[in-house]
Structure 1
Amino acid sequence: MAPIEEALDEPFECNRIEVRLISLPLKKPFTISRGEIKRKGALLVRIDEGWGEAPVLPEPIYNEEDSATAWHIAVDLAAPRLLELHEARGHLTLRDVCSLLDWIRGHRVTLSAFTSAFTVMVAERKHMPLAKLLGGVKDRVRLQHSIGLGSLEHLRREIEYAWSLGIEVIKLKVKPGRDEEQVSYARRLGAEKLTIDGNGAYSYRHLSHLAQLARRYKLWEVEQPFKPYDKVYHGKLASIAECTVSLDESVTSLEDVVEALEVFPKGRLGVNIKPPRVGGPLEALKIAKLSQEAGVHTFVGGMLETSIGRAVNIAVGSLRGVGEYLTSDISPPLEFYEEDLVEDTFTVKEGCVEVRSKPGLGFQVDHAKVEKYTVKAKEFKPRS
């Protein structure tokens, strides 16, 4: 049992909950099948010394959440609920905070900022690195490199950049009509471990096309080509594509993995564990444990987080069984932002990122930069 599971009902007194909505410009647009991302919103939650990040977008093009809904859920529902629980008993537990995921339907990315912040606070108070609190066993996490849709010249530059960092696995964002050209060009450049990610842009009518593409180019993996929440057609694709088929948007909880196991052929299911999408680090840990037992290939994906959010991703990436077949997508924030929100951001070395050994978040939050990019903020304090 991981230390975090042993601490589920441990009481902690909290003095402040702070919610911030921030907006960060990207160095260059990042294009997926659903649209172009030029500016990134995020909801930051601070519970005493613990920080959490919900990497929501300004518009709901990834899931149903966006900056406006995140602010509403956080300041009108989640924070007041935790304040009410704290005032009733004089403390909060991790189980209390995770209960938000059952009390509020959906909005798991937003709520992950609260579960992450509280988990980081627990790690700080126990003087324990976040990865160790989750039961992590690795000191570094091997990466893949995700490339947004663009020109072939853009693709060439990105692949060469990945190779310069020692990264072998290349993930291409694709959509109908923009897949085979990208894949064949990457193959001609010499990319061997090649995966594609459709972000839900394909329909069941593309089943045969995707299977042929996977077989023809011997793809390492196909990720979430079909609509969010679908498992049936992903399972059908896995049975004929001769490669792993991974779920991203279709997995928002442990139960989704259990359902997927019912329709996937043995050994062909992959799961992109994005801690924010599933509600935070504890649910991510549950998914990682079940997946290892069931022979599911898991890796950690990113949502353009700053290092506040990436800290949780790295910690989850350090878990046993995660990233062993499909490597994780945790690129440094300075690849897409001019500034990070921490003083000691991370880099890639020999295709890997280092698992932080400092207590708690593992990074020193830069309060001046957080303030610089804050759009609005609200503070909650329990009545004494």
Structure 2
Amino acid sequence: MRIKSITLHVMSMPLKKPFVTHLQTVSEREGIIVEVRDAEGMTGLGEGVAFSTPWYTEETVKTSYHMLKDVLIPLLYSKPFLHPEEIGKRFEAVRGNAMAKAALEMALWDLYARQQHVPLWKLIGGTRTDILAGAVVGAGSLKEMITQAEELVEEGYERIKLKISPGSDIEIVKGMRAHFPTLSLMADANSAYTLEDTSRLQTLDEYNLEMIEQPLGIDDLVEHSLLQREMSTPICLDESIVTPHDMKSAILLGSCGVVNIKLGRVGGYTNGLDIYRLCRENSIRVWCGGMIEFGVSRAHNLALATLEGFSIPGDISSSSKYWEEDIISFPIVVRDGVAKRLDDPGIGVELNKKRLSEVTIVRENFNQ
């Protein structure tokens, strides 16, 4: 793959409604769009999904930009390569910074698929036509969360994720289950608990949750294994799984029954596909998580979720859930809980240059 230039766009857009967790309220979403061009002018797209502050992981938009500009792009340009997977391996020389790595690596996978004139989902081995979509209800009062969930169910979403934390958990889950007796519900704790809360978390076993996501520390595998032995509800790991080695360790320890695969969190497709294969080989269920993304990352998520085994509805909501107008050529749409895969080459969408220009705050080009 001969890369001629790389362009970084730092952008910022207001959400239609603030997204609330016990860790952070997000009203304005910053992000980085990566364009990678080859010698013939063909372009691949990636998206940096770090937040403005380090509440989800240690990365931020500013640190990702620095890593892309000063470390990863020079490393990419340092010697030729034939396949994006080689760059995924090359980036292993740089510690951490998975989201910055993913932004650039995802753009290369998109470009490579376009060069082959095939959809990216086909290139990675996807088969699913219909992508099952779930949605997230932010933290709030029980009444507010029920109202949010009712609106989402009316739109056709068949799985709802509830944000919980100590003191805003048992009554929330109990009330939601009473209101939605047959709906697929899961709880996302964003590491709000410790092992001292085991009895409190065991109470949630009564409410037939699909899973409880990341209840303990963001870098923990051992204590999750201890907690999983005490609960019948499957634990889903999110922040704890960054590398294939993390996944191998979680399997050996019995830390989870489910894994949320986010391309940004794991450094892109090279790691993501390795983690996916490890889960499949060890009967760990998988699903595709979301990061309040713009349309580029959302299209990548659709490609990933075509893989066999992504049978749990993912965080792949319509563009209109968050944005008045997205930055891609047409919005991602979920109807009756399903998003259709995109069959054009690569991720199947182009940039809406006018909209991107309106929301871009920094733009920089890097030539080979």
Residue 199 of structure 1, aligned match among 177, 190, 194: 190
Q: Could you give the per-residue CA deviations for residues 60-80 of structure 1, whole angstroms, max 9, x where no partner exists?
A: 000000111011101111112
The corresponding residue for 1:19 is 8
The corresponding residue for 1:247 is 237
Structure 1 residue 240, shift from structure 2 partner: 2.0
The corresponding residue for 1:9 is none
Percent of matched pairs sharing the same residue: 30
Return the alpha-carbon distance in structure 2 between the equivalents of residues 118 and 234 of structure 1: 35
The corresponding residue for 2:115 is 125
1:273 counterpart = 2:256? no
Indicate the SS of the match to 2:224: helix
The corresponding residue for 1:371 is 357
Residues 154, 376 of structure 1: CA spacing in aligned structure 2 closer, same or farther, 3 A cutoff? Answer: same
1:308 counterpart = 2:299? no
The corresponding residue for 2:331 is 345
Residue 60 of structure 1, aligned match among 54, 59, 62: 54
Q: Could you give the per-residue CA deviations for residues 199-256 of structure 1, whole angstroms, max 9, x where no partner exists?
A: 111112112211222x222222111011101112222222221121100000101111
The corresponding residue for 2:88 is 98
Return the alpha-carbon distance in structure 1 between the equivalents of residues 8 and 180 of structure 2: 46
Residue 33 of structure 1, aligned match among 10, 13, 22: 22
- The answer to whether the 8 A contact 2:8-2:364 is kept is yes
Taking the TM superposition and a 5 Å limit, the aligned residue runs for 1:1-384 are 12-48=1-37, 49-85=43-79, 89=80, 93-192=83-182, 193-213=184-204, 215-264=205-254, 269-322=257-310, 324=311, 326-382=312-368
Indicate the SS of the match to 1:16: strand
RMSD: 1.5
Give 5+ residue unaligned stretches, structure 2. 38-42
Residues 24, 92 of structure 1: CA spacing in aligned structure 2 closer, same or farther, 3 A cutoff? Answer: farther
Structure 1 residue 100, shift from structure 2 partner: 4.5
Structure 1 residue 148, shift from structure 2 partner: 0.7
Return the alpha-carbon distance in structure 2 between the equivalents of residues 93 and 263 of structure 1: 34
Return the alpha-carbon distance in structure 1 between the equivalents of residues 247 and 193 of structure 2: 21
Return the alpha-carbon distance in structure 2 between the equivalents of residues 341 and 99 of structure 1: 30
The TM-score with structure 1 as length reference comes to 0.91
Deviation >6 Å, runs of 4+: none
Which residue identity lines up with residue 288 of structure 1 in the other structure? Y
- The answer to whether the 8 A contact 2:85-2:270 is kept is no
Indicate the SS of the match to 2:69: helix
Which residue identity lines up with residue 308 of structure 2 in the other structure? R
Indicate the SS of the match to 1:75: helix
Indicate the SS of the match to 1:15: strand
**How many residue pairs get matched?**
362
- The answer to whether the 8 A contact 2:261-2:289 is kept is yes
Structure 1 residue 84, shift from structure 2 partner: 2.7
